[in-house]
Amino acid sequence: MTRTKLNDEHWHKLFIILRQINVYNKPNLRRTVEGMLYRIRVGCPWRDLPSYFGHWSRIYHQYRYWRKTGKWQKLMKIVTANYDSEWLFIDGSVVKAHQHSSGVASHLDEAIGKSVAGNSSKLHLVVDACGNPIHIELTGGQVHDAKMAKTLIDSTINNQTKAVIADRGYDSSDIRECIFKHCTESVIPVKSNSKNSNNDTLDWYLYRCR
């Protein structure tokens, strides 16, 4: 299981942050966290977690509790506080929901919507110049990428940002104006049916770094 475990240096840094957000230092905390990260990485059912991490039910309920109390959001905010904002890359990705997902009773907003792919959710993401995720928004799958662009940009752009990079789905005057008001370059190719091409002026090297 070495490949899926945190090394001592990573765990030490993460443990300090966990204590900052009031996570108790319970026995087997490290293995519990490693079990959560394993499941996020592999995508297996909770019941199929390797027994090395402990009983799946304990890890599952701990994960749910952290979600309910906002600890994941607090953790994300701390670990992304010092991101490399020189370049910001934005994009969206559809996550197809399970066929029975819409019938599950829950008080939580599951952000599942109808799209051409059926029941689905969409992740709207900003990553920094090093490819690290720094802001995530979850919506129904029918929500267009461009609709969430301003939220993503305004929440992450700063005076160190030199460029915001995105694909043609974000080609709109509103988005370009949102980027421009921050005195930042927009690296977004125009749509193929547009009368005004920017092929000659676009920074294609930076665009291909997506």
Domain boundaries, the chain: 2-79, 87-98+108-207
131-144: pLDDT as tens digits: 999 999 988 888 88
Q: Could you give the CA distance from residue 153 to residue 165 in angstroms, rounded to a whole number?
A: 11
pLDDT score of 193: 84
What pTM does this model have? 0.74
pLDDT score of 117: 54
- Residue segments in the chain with a per-residue pLDDT below the cut of 70: 1-2, 4, 97-118
41-79: pLDDT as tens digits: 898 999 999 999 999 999 999 999 999 999 999 998 898
Number of C-beta neighbours around residue 192 at 10 A: 8
pLDDT score of 60: 97
Q: Please give the full DSSP string across 36-72, using - where no structure is assigned.
A: HHHHHHH---GGGS-GGG--HHHHHHHHHHHHHTTHH
HSE at residue 66, side-chain half, CA atoms within 13 A, is 20
pLDDT score of 108: 47
Q: Which superfamily does 87-98+108-207 belong to?
A: Transposase Inhibitor Protein From Tn5; Chain A, domain 1 (3.90.350.10)
